[in-house]
Amino acid sequence: MKKIIPILFVVFLCYFYLNKEQIVIPEYAIRFRIIANSDTIADQNLKRKIKDDVTKVALPLMQNVKTSIEAKEILKNNLPLIQNIIAKYTDDFQISLGQNYFPAKEYHGLSYPSGNYESLVITLGGGAGKNWWCVMFPPLCLLEAKEEETENIEYRFLIKDILTKYNS
């Protein structure tokens, strides 16, 4: 009887692992990425400040958007606003809206492959530092604000709910 409990536990873990649902960022998504000038504390803090200010403005613009075409048009029309936000902190930056390269990322136990994706990318200075990214459309960046509070399983279900909403 003592041996059956560990065996059932292992069977349960195997079942859970094999039936784990993989969340995939859809092809129509628009990502948002900020690359710091370097990995110094000052450059990483600057990246975070710019991220906070840009997301405060850009994410509300995405809240009622229905398609990625509409989202890209809104971003294109608001590039001067985004540039002005960044210019408050530095004049050494580049913005790219379109197909941009993203490295592979592991986040909340999910793997996101590297590749070229439709995105808004802000590169600060030489762009040699750590980057931050999220999905701007559908608006998954909103999850970042509660990252510490969110358990892995809740994150997956919330992502699935949002993607289902925009996939229909």
Q: How many domains does the chain have?
A: 1
What range defines the domain where residue 115 resides? 24-167
CB of 49 closer than 8 Å to CB of 93: no
Distance, in Å, from the CA atom of 6 to the CA atom of 164, rounded to the nearest integer, reads 37
103 within a domain of the structure (yes/no): yes
**51 or 167, higher pLDDT:** 51
Q: Is residue 60 part of a domain?
A: yes
- Sign of CA pseudo-dihedral 32, 37, 40, 45: negative
Residue 58 domain flag? yes
pLDDT score at 101: 94
- Tell me the per-residue pLDDT of 2-46, one tens digit each, with 9 for 90 and over: 554 444 344 444 444 444 555 678 889 999 999 999 999 999 999
Any domain includes 4 = no
Please check whether residue 2 lies inside any domain of the structure.
no
pLDDT for the residue numbered 49? 97
14 within a domain of the structure (yes/no): no
pTM value is 0.74
Q: What is the dihedral of CA 128, 102, 117, 92, to 10 degrees?
A: -10
User: pLDDT tens digits, residue range 63-76?
Assistant: 889 999 999 999 99
* Stretch 85-114: mean pLDDT: 90
Residue 3 lies in a domain: no
Task: Return the sign of the alpha-carbon dihedral for residues 105, 113, 133, 128.
Answer: positive
- What is the per-residue pLDDT for 2? 54
Would you list the DSSP string of 8-31?
A: HHHHHHHHHHHTPPPP---TT-EE
